[in-house]
Amino acid sequence: MLLDYVTWTVSPNLIDGPVPVRWYGLMFAIGFLIGYEVVSRIFKHEGAPERWLGTLFIYVVVATVVGARLGHVLFYDWSYYSHHLSEIPKVWEGGLASHGGTAGILLAVWLFSRWVTKRPMLWTLDRLVVPVGLVAALIRLGNLMNHEIYGGPTDLPWAFSFVENVGQWMRGANPVFTAPSHPTQLYEALCYLLTFGVCLWLYWRRNAQEREGLIFGVFMLGIFVPRFLIEFVKNVQEPWELGLRQACGLDQGQLLSIPFIVLGVWLIVRAMRRPRVPLEYPNRFAKDKDRKD
């Protein structure tokens, strides 16, 4: 007989101790390492200089963390942080927003394209986003381990009952469980894994990178359309969003997703209206003397 719901009692810590190792941080790290390997193979496939990889990796890691943190501060909790500016850098205390991370990556890629590759932003974005769906899925699994970003009550058989007082529970208190709720972390993770698979297929099987902006546009829709829809069953991140939902039927995450969805549609239409530009695939990293740009 199927269970009525899952009682989720996994600890956010993979390893306890004076310096605990958290699942969330591990998922972040694994995602970035896999992403580096995928982009490395793409750059080698197209004959890009290997030295671009390390620079891009640093740009993206810094931009993701800083952008996601500032996104949370500015988009969700400025009323608090405006009076506690010294707490803004405390990323380890939680509070990251994916929309801010996306904006940070776009800025970083603009700088990377301007200062390093001397190529259009879309050249980098079409290749960079291929593994990002997998990274996003792993981060949502980290949220699952943290008992956070879950949905409202449901009687579906795959509902999860999370520990509501997770901080106190980890310090020895008895757990206080939520009502059986939508595991929206899993919903998003599955959608992002599908996006990863589609982007991988578009690049390696369909050579979609020969239509500038197409892979990036598909990625934007694959990430932000599910995010927009899943928000309807997800709990709001901040209490003030309840008023926003009553006023317009949408929360902050949905409003922030709309510009990215529009951008994705525009990029796909633009790419399909333009002729395909065949590329060379030397399958080796370029040396500086090989560069033609």
Which residue bears the tokens 């699942």?
23
For range 40-55, the mean pLDDT: 97
Backbone angles phi and psi of 130, in degrees to 5: -55, -45
Which H/E stretch holds residue 6?
A: strand 6-7
- Confidence (pLDDT) at 290: 52
Are the CB atoms for 106 and 66 separated by under 8 Å?
A: no
The yes-or-no verdict on residue 92 having pLDDT over 80 is no
pTM: 0.94
For range 130-148, the mean pLDDT: 97
Supply 255's token pair. Answer: 């409003």
- Confidence (pLDDT) at 223: 98
The residues, ordered by sequence, that sit 6+ positions from 216 with a Cβ below 8 Å of its Cβ are 122, 125, 126, 129, 264, 267
pLDDT tens-digit map of 213-230: 999 999 999 999 999 999
Domain ranges of the chain: 20-274
Confidence of residue 289 (pLDDT cuts 50, 70, 90): low
